[in-house]
Structure 1
Amino acid sequence: MITKKTEFEQLHKYVEESSGNEKNICEITAIKNGRIVYEDYWHGYRRGDTLNVMSVTKSVMALLTGIAIDKGLIRSVDQKVLEFFPDYLVKRGEKTIYDITIRHLLTMTAPYKYKSEPWTKVCSSDNWTKAALDILGGRNGITGEFKYSTLGIQILSGVIENASGMKVIDFANTFLFEPLSIPRHTNKEGSTKEEQFNFLMSKEPKGNVWYADPQIVNTAGWGLALSANDLIAIGLMCLQKGIYNGNRIVTEEWIDAFSTPYIDLDDRFGNMSYGFLWWIIDANKRIYAAIGDGGNIIYINEAKGVCVGIAGTFKPRIFDRVQFIQKKIEPLL
């Protein structure tokens, strides 16, 4: 007779012996109906060790945006971006930027003046938010086209900071992390290319940090370090429609809003849809996820009461983490 323990042991061995997309996994935590039913570690990682969860950071920014709206600091997702940057000097002849809203940022439909993201230009600047504003807009206007941008979403950090009068990390610690029993985070500073590369590529635990630019504005598109247990706390709060340990963290309306599909995508994006910085896997079954490079993920299946958090070291072009969860983990839960 194969027991549940045996099945989990087989899963551990599968990851441990993987030579493919699973070999960078360091932590997995899974919950079913509010209870942790699986927790496992590889490569010397232990409970509480954190990794750069890459673009899962974007989904955390979506939650912070919702909290700011709940508090009246942002009127709505249709508020114009430039209202938060009254001192920003718009370049002569630029018109499109005036009409771009927070909704455009959240749905990745904001237009940008580049063919490929100008990493060096933005990440070697003294002010990453201003550098991101400099690439926002363009002659084609707002077309509604999906344009995934890690650099452009940096603008959202500036929006939250200017709206709240707080550093993003302080806002997150106060209104999201600490209420979810996620350890208080501190800034990880490092403006040189070498420092950024080391943070990205190092396989060592990161500590409870969030990368920040020279202005100590936290990165919105990557750079937040979380453990699998941290990811699962966020997921559980979402499963419970914004409530954690009996406390309201964000409104149920915002949970529904960010997990609603606004744009249907093609096979380049796994035929998923996109909400507010969250990926919608199956709208009818209420399955959605925060997904970052390296296969970092918060996977949520509302109908089954399931959430899976996976954290791993940097490994580019991992696109099968949802399939891995649905084929290897979810059946065990």
Structure 2
Amino acid sequence: MNEEKILELEKIINKDYKNIAGLIVLKDGKTLYENYFNGCTANSKLHIYSVTKSIISILIGIAIDKGHIKSVDTKVLDFFPDYIVKKREKVIQKITLKDLLTMTAPYKYRFNPYIKYFTSDDFVKFSLDLLGGKDDIGKFRYAPLIGPDIFSGILVKATGKPLLDFAKENLFEPLGITVADNITFNSKEEQLDFNKSTNISGWVSDSKGINTGGWGLTLSATDMAKIGQLYLNDGIWNGKQIVSKTWIEESTKEHSRWDKLNIPYGYLWWISEDNDLGYSAMGDGGNTIFVNKDKKW
């Protein structure tokens, strides 16, 4: 890498980007650049916000690979047979995992009811209660928080294990990633502190112990780089197939599109306008895993 351009980049980061904790560039499996900023180190763990969604996508793929989930065409309510559907609620009965993965499932709310969501003791049921409505299936509608938690409930139902346990066994531990424990909040202040923290390892859960699906996971820059490298390796890590190449290819191609911003979307991954440019896991605050298959980085 060009040393002069690196120094120029670091100067810009130190001056204008106080939110950047770390930056790692890998190519052909080798580290070309790694540095940390704003008091952070290689050990710093940060809230990765919506990058959590792409981690959920990986876990859904692993669950399908292992036979816990039949396919993305499975109906959402098949995993919740005790859920009571209200009268004249027909749309929700047709929604599939693929509809959720591609953000083409309809919801009943116009504006995200964040306060009611955060004060709910059951994020999955809260999301199910708002799934469906009068809109048709198939129109892209990005669900930041309220909705992705349904995947957490699905994974628990399908695998018979707490989501974090399943993730540790099948993704985190094989990659040498540490995610310590479930995290719960007793106040708004605790959650705000969590968002700013650089030293908490874990995954947020509701009071029932179900982990969040659209936010709430903390990882280090190195952890995120490993996830990107796993996808570059077609799902193989240290000679072991962690997630199938088939799932990676299917989940990182365009299935829907956010017309408002003209951005293609896969299965909880953002796709570059030209597929040759790659795909990304993106979260609020600048959290990003970017993969370019052609250039091997």
Alpha-carbon separation, structure 2, partners of 1:64 and 1:157: 10
Alpha-carbon separation, structure 2, partners of 1:228 and 1:129: 29
Alpha-carbon separation, structure 1, partners of 2:186 and 2:208: 10
Number of the residue aligned with 2:139: 145
What CA deviation, in whole Å up to 9, does each residue of 1:158-189 have, x standing for no partner?
A: 00011001111111111001111111431111
Alignment CA distance shift 1:141-1:289 (3 Å): same
Q: Which moves more between the two structures, 110-119 or 182-191?
A: 182-191
Check conservation: 2:68, 2:158, Cα contact below 8 A: yes
Q: Following TM superposition, by how much is the alpha carbon of 1:120 offset from its aligned partner in structure 2, in angstroms?
A: 1.5
Alpha-carbon separation, structure 2, partners of 1:58 and 1:167: 17
What's the secondary structure of 1:86's corresponding residue? coil
| TM-score normalized by the length of structure 2 | 0.96
Structure 1 stretches of 4+ with a deviation exceeding 4 A read none
Q: Following TM superposition, by how much is the alpha carbon of 1:191 offset from its aligned partner in structure 2, in angstroms?
A: 4.7
- Backbone CA RMSD of aligned residues: 1.4
1:181 paired residue among 158, 176, 184: 176
Alpha-carbon separation, structure 2, partners of 1:67 and 1:277: 14
Check conservation: 1:169, 1:185, Cα contact below 8 A: no
| TM-score normalized by the length of structure 1 | 0.86
Alpha-carbon separation, structure 2, partners of 1:90 and 1:120: 24
What's the secondary structure of 1:25's corresponding residue? coil
- Establish whether residue 83 from structure 1 lines up as the match of residue 74 from structure 2: no
Alpha-carbon separation, structure 2, partners of 1:120 and 1:90: 24
Number of the residue aligned with 1:48: 43
Check conservation: 1:173, 1:185, Cα contact below 8 A: no
Number of the residue aligned with 1:113: 108
1:4 paired residue among 2, 5, 20: 2
Alignment CA distance shift 1:55-1:252 (3 Å): same
Alpha-carbon separation, structure 1, partners of 2:48 and 2:187: 20
Number of the residue aligned with 1:253: 246
1:274 paired residue among 265, 282, 290: 265
What's the secondary structure of 1:110's corresponding residue? coil
Number of the residue aligned with 1:100: 95
What CA deviation, in whole Å up to 9, does each residue of 1:9-38 have, x standing for no partner?
A: 3321220011xxx33111111101110111
Q: Which moves more between the two structures, 131-140 or 283-292?
A: 283-292
Number of the residue aligned with 2:61: 66
Alpha-carbon separation, structure 1, partners of 2:279 and 2:42: 25
Alignment CA distance shift 1:72-1:228 (3 Å): same
2:237 paired residue among 225, 234, 244: 244
Q: Following TM superposition, by how much is the alpha carbon of 1:245 offset from its aligned partner in structure 2, in angstroms?
A: 1.5
* Stretches of structure 1 lacking an aligned partner (at least 5 in a row): 307-333
Check conservation: 1:239, 1:302, Cα contact below 8 A: yes
Alpha-carbon separation, structure 2, partners of 1:182 and 1:26: 18
Alpha-carbon separation, structure 1, partners of 2:246 and 2:274: 16
Q: In structure 2, what residue type is equivalent to 1:180?
A: L
Q: Following TM superposition, by how much is the alpha carbon of 1:75 offset from its aligned partner in structure 2, in angstroms?
A: 0.2
Alpha-carbon separation, structure 1, partners of 2:169 and 2:232: 21
Alpha-carbon separation, structure 1, partners of 2:269 and 2:72: 15
Tell me the percent identity: 44
Alpha-carbon separation, structure 2, partners of 1:209 and 1:283: 35
Alpha-carbon separation, structure 2, partners of 1:88 and 1:282: 39
Q: In structure 1, what residue type is equivalent to 2:2?
A: K
Q: Following TM superposition, by how much is the alpha carbon of 1:286 offset from its aligned partner in structure 2, in angstroms?
A: 4.9
* Stretches of structure 2 lacking an aligned partner (at least 5 in a row): none
